[in-house]
């Protein structure tokens, strides 16, 4: 089996945007599994993603209140097509991240995280793949808003892509 994956983080709705761009909703519709690495801000997006996703895996972030924390874990783990995933919102400073995360998540193939709004795709010396999709709604100091897609196939993560949100599609101010 093959599963199409979508990675999101730091959506900050409705503080940074009123809604997700249609481009992101199209990616949700195309995905078999949607991962959200926290900072939803309100439960309405969680509700909508639960309704519109075939399978949703999420964690809470530092900007998420009690309503989201009561429904989501701090750390999530899932195996998709033989690929072992863990997800957490924050991993700490960029310096030493790979080694720190490899020690903390020893039985994982891929660690998905958020918090920084900075896209990240590296592999630790021991083979742990670390992915941060950036943010589809709040680019901060990045050139564009982003999310990631990938495919899980036979125990391998392939076709990992950082996808820029089209500026026209990304307008959420009306």
Q: Where residue 20 sits, what CATH number does that domain have?
A: 3.60.21.10
Q: What local confidence, expressed as pLDDT, does residue 171 receive?
A: 43
Domain containing residue 29? 2-170
What is the model's pTM?
0.94
Which residues in 44-83 are b (16+ Cβ under 10 Å) and which e?
Answer: ebbeebeeebeebbbbbbebbeeebeeebeeebeeebbeb
Give the tens place of pLDDT for each residue, 78-126: 999 999 999 999 999 999 999 999 999 999 999 999 999 999 999 999 9
Q: What local confidence, expressed as pLDDT, does residue 172 receive?
A: 45
Give the tens place of pLDDT for each residue, 29-70: 999 999 999 999 999 999 999 999 999 999 999 999 999 999
Which residues in 89-122 are b (16+ Cβ under 10 Å) and which e?
Answer: bebeeeeebbeebbeebeebbbbbbbbbbbbbee
Read off φ and ψ for residue 30, nearest 5 degrees: -85, -15
Q: What local confidence, expressed as pLDDT, does residue 168 receive?
A: 58
Beta bridge partners of 76: 87
Q: How many domains, the chain?
A: 1
- The answer to whether 34 touches 20, Cβ cutoff 8 Å, is no
pLDDT band at 162 (very low <50, low <70, confident <90, very high): very high
């Amino acid at each position: 089996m093959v599963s199409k994956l979508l990675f999101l983080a730091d959506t900050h709705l409705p503080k940074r945007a009123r809604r997700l761009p249609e481009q992101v909703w199209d990616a949700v519709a195309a995905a078999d599994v949607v991962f959200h690495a926290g900072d939803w801000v309100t439960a309405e997006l969680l509700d909508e993603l639960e309704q519109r996703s075939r399978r949703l895996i999420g964690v809470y972030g530092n900007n998420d209140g009690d309503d989201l924390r009561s429904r989501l874990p701090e750390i999530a783990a899932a195996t998709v097509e033989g690929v072992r995933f863990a997800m957490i919102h924050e991993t700490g400073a960029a310096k030493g991240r790979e080694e720190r995360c490899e020690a903390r998540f020893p039985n994982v193939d891929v660690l998905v995280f958020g918090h920084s709004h900075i896209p990240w795709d590296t592999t630790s010396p021991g083979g742990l793949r670390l992915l941060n999709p950036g943010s589809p709604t709040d680019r901060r100091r990045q050139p564009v808003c982003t999310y990631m897609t990938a495919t899980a196939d036979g125990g391998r993560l392939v076709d990992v892509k950082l996808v820029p949100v089209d500026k026209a599609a990304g307008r959420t101010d009306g």
